[in-house]
Protein backbone atom coordinates (compact mmCIF):
# COMPACT_ATOMS: atom_id res chain seq x y z
CA UNK A 1 0.00 0.00 0.00
CA UNK A 2 1.45 3.35 -0.89
CA UNK A 3 1.48 6.04 1.79
CA UNK A 4 -1.12 8.78 1.60
CA UNK A 5 1.45 11.51 1.06
CA UNK A 6 4.39 11.13 -1.27
CA UNK A 7 7.02 13.58 -2.44
CA UNK A 8 5.56 15.42 -5.47
CA UNK A 9 6.32 13.92 -8.88
CA UNK A 10 9.80 14.88 -10.01
CA UNK A 11 11.05 15.65 -6.50
CA UNK A 12 12.74 13.34 -4.04
CA UNK A 13 14.06 13.08 -0.54
CA UNK A 14 17.78 12.84 0.02
CA UNK A 15 18.13 10.51 2.97
CA UNK A 16 20.93 9.94 5.45
CA UNK A 17 23.33 7.64 3.62
CA UNK A 18 23.00 9.86 0.53
CA UNK A 19 23.34 13.24 2.16
CA UNK A 20 26.90 12.42 3.29
CA UNK A 21 27.97 12.18 -0.33
CA UNK A 22 26.20 15.46 -1.12
CA UNK A 23 27.89 17.17 1.80
CA UNK A 24 31.25 15.84 0.71
CA UNK A 25 30.68 17.05 -2.87
CA UNK A 26 29.56 20.47 -1.65
CA UNK A 27 32.59 20.77 0.64
CA UNK A 28 34.97 19.90 -2.19
CA UNK A 29 33.28 22.46 -4.42
CA UNK A 30 33.41 25.20 -1.81
CA UNK A 31 37.13 24.66 -1.31
CA UNK A 32 37.85 24.90 -5.03
CA UNK A 33 35.65 28.01 -5.37
CA UNK A 34 37.41 29.67 -2.46
CA UNK A 35 40.83 28.94 -3.95
CA UNK A 36 39.64 30.59 -7.16
CA UNK A 37 38.62 33.62 -5.02
CA UNK A 38 34.91 33.43 -5.96
CA UNK A 39 32.43 34.78 -3.42
CA UNK A 40 29.07 33.30 -2.62
CA UNK A 41 25.81 34.99 -3.51
CA UNK A 42 22.38 33.75 -2.40
CA UNK A 43 19.35 34.93 -4.30
CA UNK A 44 15.64 34.10 -3.77
CA UNK A 45 14.22 30.84 -5.02
CA UNK A 46 11.42 32.75 -6.74
CA UNK A 47 11.48 35.94 -8.77
CA UNK A 48 9.18 37.85 -11.07
CA UNK A 49 8.13 35.56 -13.90
CA UNK A 50 9.10 38.33 -16.30
CA UNK A 51 12.77 38.13 -15.25
CA UNK A 52 13.00 34.51 -16.41
CA UNK A 53 10.88 35.08 -19.50
CA UNK A 54 13.22 37.86 -20.61
CA UNK A 55 16.50 36.17 -19.74
CA UNK A 56 15.89 32.55 -20.77
CA UNK A 57 13.99 33.60 -23.89
CA UNK A 58 10.26 33.44 -24.62
CA UNK A 59 10.77 30.62 -27.12
CA UNK A 60 12.98 28.45 -24.90
CA UNK A 61 11.56 25.19 -23.52
CA UNK A 62 12.32 26.44 -20.04
CA UNK A 63 9.86 29.31 -20.44
CA UNK A 64 7.38 27.67 -22.79
CA UNK A 65 6.90 24.37 -21.02
CA UNK A 66 8.86 24.11 -17.81
CA UNK A 67 8.12 27.13 -15.68
CA UNK A 68 6.67 26.84 -12.20
CA UNK A 69 4.66 30.01 -12.57
CA UNK A 70 2.24 31.15 -9.88
CA UNK A 71 0.43 34.12 -8.45
CA UNK A 72 0.87 35.05 -4.82
CA UNK A 73 -2.04 36.25 -2.71
CA UNK A 74 -1.63 39.79 -4.03
CA UNK A 75 -1.71 38.56 -7.61
CA UNK A 76 1.99 39.06 -8.32
CA UNK A 77 3.20 37.05 -11.31
CA UNK A 78 6.06 34.97 -9.91
CA UNK A 79 8.01 31.83 -10.83
CA UNK A 80 10.27 29.38 -9.05
CA UNK A 81 13.74 29.88 -10.46
CA UNK A 82 14.60 27.48 -13.29
CA UNK A 83 18.27 28.52 -13.14
CA UNK A 84 20.56 30.87 -11.24
CA UNK A 85 22.09 33.31 -13.72
CA UNK A 86 19.02 35.54 -14.13
CA UNK A 87 18.72 36.07 -10.35
CA UNK A 88 22.43 36.78 -10.00
CA UNK A 89 22.29 39.40 -12.77
CA UNK A 90 19.14 40.92 -11.29
CA UNK A 91 20.92 41.19 -7.90
CA UNK A 92 24.04 42.58 -9.56
CA UNK A 93 21.96 45.39 -11.08
CA UNK A 94 19.79 45.97 -8.01
CA UNK A 95 22.77 46.34 -5.63
CA UNK A 96 25.03 48.05 -8.14
CA UNK A 97 27.71 45.43 -7.55
CA UNK A 98 29.72 46.89 -10.40
CA UNK A 99 30.59 49.80 -8.12
CA UNK A 100 32.27 47.40 -5.68
CA UNK A 101 34.79 46.16 -8.19
CA UNK A 102 35.12 46.13 -11.92
CA UNK A 103 35.05 42.38 -12.14
CA UNK A 104 32.91 40.30 -9.80
CA UNK A 105 33.56 36.59 -9.32
CA UNK A 106 30.46 35.00 -7.84
CA UNK A 107 29.19 31.51 -7.05
CA UNK A 108 25.91 30.08 -5.85
CA UNK A 109 24.32 26.75 -5.04
CA UNK A 110 20.79 25.66 -4.44
CA UNK A 111 17.65 24.07 -5.80
CA UNK A 112 16.22 25.01 -9.20
CA UNK A 113 12.81 24.07 -10.59
CA UNK A 114 11.75 22.98 -14.06
CA UNK A 115 8.50 21.32 -14.94
CA UNK A 116 9.98 18.70 -17.31
CA UNK A 117 8.92 15.10 -17.74
CA UNK A 118 10.74 13.28 -14.94
CA UNK A 119 13.19 10.59 -16.02
CA UNK A 120 16.63 9.30 -15.03
CA UNK A 121 18.71 12.37 -14.22
CA UNK A 122 15.83 14.80 -14.79
CA UNK A 123 13.93 16.15 -11.83
CA UNK A 124 11.49 18.96 -11.26
CA UNK A 125 13.52 20.14 -8.29
CA UNK A 126 17.25 19.73 -8.82
CA UNK A 127 20.40 21.28 -7.44
CA UNK A 128 22.95 23.39 -9.21
CA UNK A 129 26.31 24.84 -8.28
CA UNK A 130 27.20 27.73 -10.53
CA UNK A 131 29.75 30.49 -10.96
CA UNK A 132 29.67 33.77 -12.86
CA UNK A 133 32.33 36.34 -13.77
CA UNK A 134 30.60 39.64 -14.38
CA UNK A 135 32.20 42.78 -15.77
CA UNK A 136 34.72 41.77 -18.41
CA UNK A 137 34.60 40.68 -22.06
CA UNK A 138 38.19 39.35 -21.83
CA UNK A 139 38.72 35.82 -23.18
CA UNK A 140 40.77 35.22 -20.00
CA UNK A 141 37.46 35.22 -18.09
CA UNK A 142 36.03 32.46 -20.34
CA UNK A 143 39.25 30.49 -19.88
CA UNK A 144 39.19 30.88 -16.10
CA UNK A 145 35.53 29.89 -15.91
CA UNK A 146 36.15 26.74 -17.96
CA UNK A 147 39.24 25.89 -15.88
CA UNK A 148 37.17 26.27 -12.70
CA UNK A 149 34.42 24.15 -14.23
CA UNK A 150 36.90 21.36 -15.01
CA UNK A 151 38.69 21.66 -11.66
CA UNK A 152 35.41 21.16 -9.82
CA UNK A 153 34.86 17.89 -11.66
CA UNK A 154 38.43 16.88 -10.93
CA UNK A 155 37.98 17.61 -7.24
CA UNK A 156 35.04 15.18 -7.34
CA UNK A 157 37.24 12.50 -8.85
CA UNK A 158 36.26 12.71 -12.53
CA UNK A 159 39.07 12.04 -14.95
CA UNK A 160 39.52 12.55 -18.68
CA UNK A 161 36.65 14.96 -19.10
CA UNK A 162 36.22 16.59 -22.47
CA UNK A 163 34.60 20.00 -22.64
CA UNK A 164 32.37 20.41 -25.70
CA UNK A 165 32.76 23.89 -27.15
CA UNK A 166 31.05 26.14 -29.63
CA UNK A 167 30.62 29.83 -30.25
CA UNK A 168 27.15 31.24 -30.76
CA UNK A 169 28.53 34.63 -31.79
CA UNK A 170 26.34 37.70 -31.50
CA UNK A 171 22.58 38.03 -31.99
CA UNK A 172 23.39 39.03 -35.57
CA UNK A 173 25.46 35.85 -36.07
CA UNK A 174 22.54 33.82 -34.86
CA UNK A 175 20.12 35.60 -37.14
CA UNK A 176 22.34 34.99 -40.18
CA UNK A 177 23.09 31.43 -39.15
CA UNK A 178 19.45 30.72 -38.25
CA UNK A 179 18.46 31.77 -41.74
CA UNK A 180 21.12 29.53 -43.34
CA UNK A 181 19.94 26.62 -41.20
CA UNK A 182 16.31 27.26 -42.07
CA UNK A 183 17.07 27.27 -45.78
CA UNK A 184 19.12 24.10 -45.46
CA UNK A 185 16.32 22.33 -43.57
CA UNK A 186 13.53 23.65 -45.78
CA UNK A 187 13.38 20.62 -48.16
CA UNK A 188 12.98 18.32 -45.12
CA UNK A 189 10.41 20.46 -43.33
CA UNK A 190 7.64 17.85 -43.59
CA UNK A 191 9.75 15.20 -41.92
CA UNK A 192 10.47 17.32 -38.86
CA UNK A 193 8.48 17.01 -35.63
CA UNK A 194 5.69 19.50 -34.97
CA UNK A 195 7.87 21.24 -32.37
CA UNK A 196 10.81 21.59 -34.72
CA UNK A 197 8.63 22.86 -37.54
CA UNK A 198 7.35 25.59 -35.25
CA UNK A 199 10.90 26.42 -34.18
CA UNK A 200 12.02 26.64 -37.75
CA UNK A 201 9.83 29.73 -37.93
CA UNK A 202 10.44 31.31 -34.52
CA UNK A 203 14.03 30.36 -33.66
CA UNK A 204 15.65 27.88 -36.09
CA UNK A 205 18.69 27.34 -33.82
CA UNK A 206 16.45 25.59 -31.32
CA UNK A 207 15.94 22.81 -33.87
CA UNK A 208 19.53 21.76 -33.08
CA UNK A 209 18.43 21.20 -29.49
CA UNK A 210 15.89 18.53 -30.40
CA UNK A 211 15.87 15.09 -28.79
CA UNK A 212 13.36 13.67 -31.29
CA UNK A 213 14.99 10.68 -33.09
CA UNK A 214 13.36 11.55 -36.43
CA UNK A 215 14.59 15.17 -36.17
CA UNK A 216 18.08 13.94 -35.30
CA UNK A 217 18.01 11.76 -38.43
CA UNK A 218 17.05 14.76 -40.56
CA UNK A 219 19.80 16.84 -38.94
CA UNK A 220 22.50 14.38 -40.04
CA UNK A 221 21.74 15.92 -43.42
CA UNK A 222 22.09 12.69 -45.40
CA UNK A 223 19.18 13.60 -47.62
CA UNK A 224 19.83 17.32 -47.78
CA UNK A 225 21.95 19.29 -50.15
CA UNK A 226 25.44 19.94 -48.83
CA UNK A 227 26.71 19.63 -45.27
CA UNK A 228 24.89 21.31 -42.39
CA UNK A 229 25.90 24.98 -42.11
CA UNK A 230 28.10 25.71 -39.12
CA UNK A 231 27.74 28.56 -36.70
CA UNK A 232 31.52 29.06 -36.54
CA UNK A 233 31.44 29.93 -40.25
CA UNK A 234 28.96 32.73 -39.55
CA UNK A 235 31.00 34.44 -36.81
CA UNK A 236 31.92 38.11 -37.10
CA UNK A 237 35.60 39.01 -36.90
CA UNK A 238 35.66 39.94 -33.17
CA UNK A 239 33.77 36.83 -32.15
CA UNK A 240 36.15 34.73 -34.22
CA UNK A 241 39.16 36.34 -32.54
CA UNK A 242 37.58 35.80 -29.15
CA UNK A 243 36.96 32.15 -30.00
CA UNK A 244 40.55 31.61 -31.18
CA UNK A 245 41.92 33.14 -28.00
CA UNK A 246 39.67 31.05 -25.77
CA UNK A 247 40.72 27.84 -27.53
CA UNK A 248 44.40 28.83 -27.33
CA UNK A 249 43.95 29.49 -23.60
CA UNK A 250 42.42 26.06 -23.07
CA UNK A 251 45.31 24.47 -24.96
CA UNK A 252 47.80 26.32 -22.78
CA UNK A 253 46.08 24.91 -19.67
CA UNK A 254 45.91 21.41 -21.20
CA UNK A 255 42.15 21.36 -20.88
CA UNK A 256 40.70 18.67 -23.16
CA UNK A 257 38.08 20.11 -25.47
CA UNK A 258 36.25 19.30 -28.66
CA UNK A 259 34.22 21.46 -30.99
CA UNK A 260 30.55 20.54 -31.13
CA UNK A 261 28.93 22.40 -34.02
CA UNK A 262 25.46 21.44 -32.79
CA UNK A 263 25.90 22.94 -29.31
CA UNK A 264 23.47 25.84 -28.96
CA UNK A 265 22.44 25.60 -25.24
CA UNK A 266 18.85 25.66 -24.07
CA UNK A 267 18.69 29.28 -22.89
CA UNK A 268 18.62 32.30 -25.16
CA UNK A 269 21.00 34.67 -23.40
CA UNK A 270 24.27 33.25 -24.71
CA UNK A 271 26.75 35.15 -26.85
CA UNK A 272 30.06 33.81 -28.17
CA UNK A 273 31.43 31.00 -25.95
CA UNK A 274 29.12 28.10 -25.14
CA UNK A 275 30.27 24.85 -23.48
CA UNK A 276 29.02 21.66 -21.85
CA UNK A 277 30.31 18.51 -20.25
CA UNK A 278 28.50 15.20 -20.71
CA UNK A 279 28.70 11.78 -19.13
CA UNK A 280 27.52 9.25 -21.70
CA UNK A 281 26.86 6.59 -19.07
CA UNK A 282 23.95 8.63 -17.77
CA UNK A 283 21.83 8.01 -20.88
CA UNK A 284 19.63 10.66 -22.47
CA UNK A 285 20.05 13.26 -19.71
CA UNK A 286 23.81 13.27 -19.97
CA UNK A 287 24.76 16.93 -19.50
CA UNK A 288 26.50 17.32 -16.16
CA UNK A 289 26.94 21.03 -16.60
CA UNK A 290 27.20 23.83 -19.06
CA UNK A 291 27.57 27.53 -19.50
CA UNK A 292 28.88 30.31 -21.62
CA UNK A 293 29.09 34.02 -22.16
CA UNK A 294 26.07 36.33 -21.89
CA UNK A 295 27.28 39.78 -22.89
CA UNK A 296 23.82 41.20 -23.52
CA UNK A 297 21.92 39.84 -20.54
CA UNK A 298 22.46 42.55 -17.94
CA UNK A 299 21.50 45.24 -20.43
CA UNK A 300 18.45 43.22 -21.47
CA UNK A 301 17.39 43.19 -17.81
CA UNK A 302 17.64 46.96 -17.61
CA UNK A 303 21.22 47.36 -16.30
CA UNK A 304 24.22 49.06 -17.86
CA UNK A 305 25.78 47.17 -20.76
CA UNK A 306 27.95 44.64 -18.89
CA UNK A 307 29.42 41.37 -20.13
CA UNK A 308 29.43 38.12 -18.17
CA UNK A 309 30.39 34.48 -18.42
CA UNK A 310 29.56 31.51 -16.21
CA UNK A 311 28.37 27.95 -15.80
CA UNK A 312 26.15 25.72 -13.72
CA UNK A 313 26.68 22.11 -12.80
CA UNK A 314 23.74 19.81 -12.09
CA UNK A 315 24.53 18.21 -8.76
CA UNK A 316 21.92 15.44 -8.99
CA UNK A 317 23.42 14.06 -12.19
CA UNK A 318 26.97 14.66 -11.05
CA UNK A 319 26.36 12.74 -7.84
CA UNK A 320 24.64 9.93 -9.76
CA UNK A 321 27.76 9.66 -11.90
CA UNK A 322 29.93 9.82 -8.78
CA UNK A 323 28.24 6.92 -7.08
CA UNK A 324 30.42 4.59 -9.15
CA UNK A 325 33.57 6.66 -9.06
CA UNK A 326 34.01 8.31 -5.70
CA UNK A 327 35.79 6.49 -2.90
CA UNK A 328 33.52 5.35 -0.10
CA UNK A 329 33.30 8.01 2.54
CA UNK A 330 35.15 7.24 5.75
CA UNK A 331 32.76 6.87 8.67
CA UNK A 332 33.03 9.54 11.34
CA UNK A 333 34.71 8.18 14.46
CA UNK A 334 31.86 8.11 16.91
CA UNK A 335 31.48 7.42 20.57
CA UNK A 336 28.56 5.65 22.17
CA UNK A 337 27.90 6.40 25.83
CA UNK A 338 26.26 3.50 27.64
CA UNK A 339 24.83 3.83 31.13
CA UNK A 340 23.60 1.67 33.98
CA UNK A 341 20.64 2.40 36.24
CA UNK A 342 22.85 4.39 38.62
CA UNK A 343 24.46 6.60 35.97
CA UNK A 344 21.51 7.26 33.66
CA UNK A 345 20.87 10.63 35.28
CA UNK A 346 24.38 11.95 34.65
CA UNK A 347 24.47 10.88 31.00
CA UNK A 348 22.95 14.03 29.44
CA UNK A 349 25.49 16.44 30.91
CA UNK A 350 28.39 14.03 30.36
CA UNK A 351 27.38 13.55 26.73
CA UNK A 352 26.85 17.25 26.21
CA UNK A 353 30.40 17.98 27.36
CA UNK A 354 31.81 15.24 25.12
CA UNK A 355 29.87 16.61 22.17
CA UNK A 356 31.91 19.79 22.26
CA UNK A 357 34.66 17.63 20.74
CA UNK A 358 33.32 14.31 19.43
CA UNK A 359 30.33 12.89 17.61
CA UNK A 360 28.48 11.05 20.37
CA UNK A 361 25.42 8.80 20.38
CA UNK A 362 23.55 7.57 23.45
CA UNK A 363 20.31 5.93 24.48
CA UNK A 364 17.34 8.20 25.13
CA UNK A 365 14.98 5.58 26.47
CA UNK A 366 16.65 4.09 29.54
CA UNK A 367 17.02 0.67 27.97
CA UNK A 368 19.06 -2.23 29.35
CA UNK A 369 22.83 -2.29 29.02
CA UNK A 370 22.48 -5.20 26.65
CA UNK A 371 20.16 -3.22 24.38
CA UNK A 372 22.53 -0.25 24.52
CA UNK A 373 25.50 -2.40 23.50
CA UNK A 374 23.53 -3.69 20.51
CA UNK A 375 22.60 -0.14 19.56
CA UNK A 376 26.27 0.90 19.88
CA UNK A 377 27.26 -1.84 17.42
CA UNK A 378 24.59 -0.75 14.98
CA UNK A 379 25.44 2.94 15.26
CA UNK A 380 28.87 2.46 13.72
CA UNK A 381 30.52 3.90 16.82
CA UNK A 382 34.17 3.08 17.28
CA UNK A 383 34.31 3.31 21.08
CA UNK A 384 31.81 2.69 23.85
CA UNK A 385 32.17 4.76 27.01
CA UNK A 386 30.50 2.68 29.68
CA UNK A 387 29.49 4.58 32.81
CA UNK A 388 29.37 1.79 35.43
CA UNK A 389 27.91 2.59 38.88
CA UNK A 390 31.02 1.68 40.84
CA UNK A 391 33.48 3.10 38.31
CA UNK A 392 31.58 6.40 38.12
CA UNK A 393 31.75 6.77 41.90
CA UNK A 394 35.51 6.26 41.72
CA UNK A 395 35.81 8.81 38.91
CA UNK A 396 36.53 6.17 36.27
CA UNK A 397 35.07 5.24 32.92
CA UNK A 398 35.25 1.97 31.01
CA UNK A 399 36.43 2.39 27.46
CA UNK A 400 35.52 -0.40 25.09
CA UNK A 401 37.00 -0.50 21.61
CA UNK A 402 34.48 -2.03 19.24
CA UNK A 403 37.07 -2.55 16.51
CA UNK A 404 38.93 -5.22 18.51
CA UNK A 405 36.83 -5.80 21.63
CA UNK A 406 39.61 -4.58 23.95
CA UNK A 407 38.71 -2.71 27.08
CA UNK A 408 40.39 -0.45 29.63
CA UNK A 409 39.36 1.57 32.64
CA UNK A 410 40.50 5.19 32.64
CA UNK A 411 40.39 8.07 35.08
CA UNK A 412 37.96 10.81 34.01
CA UNK A 413 40.90 13.26 33.80
CA UNK A 414 42.71 11.03 31.32
CA UNK A 415 39.62 10.22 29.26
CA UNK A 416 40.20 12.55 26.32
CA UNK A 417 43.78 11.41 25.95
CA UNK A 418 42.71 7.76 26.01
CA UNK A 419 39.97 8.35 23.43
CA UNK A 420 42.33 10.21 21.13
CA UNK A 421 44.95 7.49 21.38
CA UNK A 422 42.44 4.92 20.28
CA UNK A 423 41.01 7.03 17.48
CA UNK A 424 44.35 8.29 16.21
CA UNK A 425 46.02 5.22 14.70
CA UNK A 426 43.09 4.86 12.30
CA UNK A 427 43.43 8.47 11.20
CA UNK A 428 47.18 8.37 10.64
CA UNK A 429 46.91 5.14 8.64
CA UNK A 430 44.39 6.81 6.37
CA UNK A 431 46.69 9.74 5.82
CA UNK A 432 49.59 7.56 4.73
Q: Is 312 within 8 Å of 125 (Cβ atoms)?
A: no
Report the candidate in 333, 383, 386, 395 with the shortest Cα–Cα distance to residue 358.
Answer: 333
Report residue 396: phi and psi, to 5°.
Answer: -125, 160
- Min. distance of Cβ 170 from ligand HAM in angstroms? 17
Using CB atoms, what's the residue nearest to ligand HAM?
A: 314
Q: Which residues, at least 6 apart from 160, have a Cβ–Cβ distance to it below 8 Å?
A: 256
CB within 8 Å of 217: residues ≥ 6 apart: none
Task: Pick between residue 289 and residue 333 the one whose CB is nearest to ligand HAM.
Answer: 289
Phi first, then psi, for residue 266 (nearest 5°) are -90, -5
Residues lying near ligand HAM in the complex (CB under 6 A) are found at 83-85, 114, 116, 121-123, 126, 128, 130, 132, 266-267, 287-292, 294, 310-312, 314, 316-317
Tell me the C-alpha distance between 22 and 68, whole Å. Answer: 25
Q: How many CA atoms lie within 13 A of 343 on its CB side?
A: 25
Report DSSP state, residue 179.
H
Instruction: Specify the residue, 273 or 343, whose C-beta has the smaller distance to ligand HAM.
Output: 273
Question: Residue 280 Cβ, how far from ligand HAM at the closest point, in Å?
Answer: 14
Q: How far is the CB of 416 from ligand HAM (least distance, A)?
A: 45
Question: Residue 367, class by beta-carbon neighbours within 10 Å (0-12 exposed, 13-18 middle, 19+ buried)?
Answer: middle
Minimum distance of ligand HAM from residue 431's CB (angstroms) = 34
- Residues 175-183: contacts with CB under 8 Å, at least 24 apart: 176/234, 177/205, 177/229, 177/231, 177/234, 178/203, 178/204, 178/205, 179/204, 180/229, 180/234, 181/205, 181/207, 181/208, 181/228, 181/229
Residue 117 or 393 having the CB closest to ligand HAM: 117
Q: Which is nearer to ligand HAM, 272 or 400 (CB)?
A: 272
Q: How far is the CB of 143 from ligand HAM (least distance, A)?
A: 15
Comparison of 8 and 75: residue with beta carbon closer to ligand HAM: 8
Tell the smallest beta-carbon distance from residue 277 to ligand HAM (Å).
8
**Closer to ligand HAM by Cβ: residue 128 or 239:** 128
Which is closer to ligand HAM, CB of 12 or CB of 245?
Answer: 12
Q: Which is nearer to ligand HAM, 130 or 307 (CB)?
A: 130
The answer to whether 44 and 90 are in contact (CB under 8 A) is no
Whats the size of the chain, residue-wise? 432
When the beta carbons of 155 and 398 are compared against ligand HAM, the nearer one is: 155
- The residues, ordered by sequence, that sit 6+ positions from 257 with a Cβ below 8 Å of its Cβ are 146, 162, 163, 164, 165, 247, 250, 275
What is the C-alpha to C-alpha distance for residues 52 and 66, in angstroms, rounded to an integer? 11
CB of 279 to ligand HAM, least distance (A): 9
Q: Minimum distance from CB of 88 to ligand HAM (Å)?
A: 8
* Order of strands across the sheet that contains 271-278: 39-40, 104-113, 125-134, 308-314, 287-293, 271-278, 163-167, 257-259
Q: How far is the CB of 190 from ligand HAM (least distance, A)?
A: 31
Nearer to ligand HAM, 147 or 369 (CB): 147
Q: How far apart are the first and last CA of the chain?
A: 50
Minimum CB distance to ligand HAM smaller for 255 or for 288: 288
- Can you tell me the distance from the alpha carbon of 382 to that of 57, in angstroms, rounded to the nearest whole number? 55
The CA-based angle 235-251-28, given to 5 degrees, is 110
Taking the complex as a whole, how short is the minimal distance between the CB of residue 288 and ligand HAM, in angstroms?
5
Amino acid sequence: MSPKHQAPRGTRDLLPGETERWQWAERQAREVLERYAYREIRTPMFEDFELFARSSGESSDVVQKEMYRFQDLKGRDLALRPEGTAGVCRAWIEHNLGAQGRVQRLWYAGPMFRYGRPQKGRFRQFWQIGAEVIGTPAPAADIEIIALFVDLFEAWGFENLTVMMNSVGTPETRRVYGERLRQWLEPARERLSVDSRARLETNPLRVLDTKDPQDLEVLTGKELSGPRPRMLDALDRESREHWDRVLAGLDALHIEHEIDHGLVRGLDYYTRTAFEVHDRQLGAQSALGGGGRYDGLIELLGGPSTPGVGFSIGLDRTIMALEDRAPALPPTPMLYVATTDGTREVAPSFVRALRTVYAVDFDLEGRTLNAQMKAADKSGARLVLLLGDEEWKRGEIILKDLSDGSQQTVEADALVEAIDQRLEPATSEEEE
